[in-house]
Homo-oligomer: A and B are copies of this chain.
């Protein structure tokens, strides 16, 4: 794997690690904190801007049930200082399972890759 793709995949993994750990500080580290960052949780309308997005993570992390992600079909792309990863999230939510199709978009600056968009959607048919 090329070094920039490797770093992109590490940033993508850091997102899921923060999600699984319900760690708001770690999630905050993953994201850019601008007014134009975008987050679409499965079934939700799109949230724009870090203030709304961090509030959504705070609310999601209140749920005492921890999610577990098994990631499949990872497909990373890098073009200049923009990278994106398509991935299938196979979710274990206690005894329940579900599948989410996700695309994660990152921008690179001096401190590495930062998330600027996450879009997850429920897979309702095979």
Known: A45-B88, A119-B119, A124-B43. A80 touches B77 (CB 8 A): no
Collect the chain B residues with CB atoms within 8 Å of residue A48's CB.
73, 75, 86
Question: Is A81 close to B, CB under 8 A?
Answer: yes
Which B-chain residue is minimally distant from A43 (CB atoms)? B124
Check if B125 sits within 8 Å of A46, measured CB to CB: no
Extra pairs beyond A48-B75, A48-B86, A122-B122 (13, CB < 8 Å): A40-B101, A40-B121, A42-B121, A46-B101, A77-B116, A79-B80, A79-B81, A79-B107, A80-B80, A82-B82, A84-B105, A84-B117, A119-B119
Interface residues of A (CB under 8 A from B): 36, 38, 40, 42-46, 48, 73, 75, 77, 79-82, 84, 86, 88, 99, 101, 103, 105, 107, 116-117, 119-126
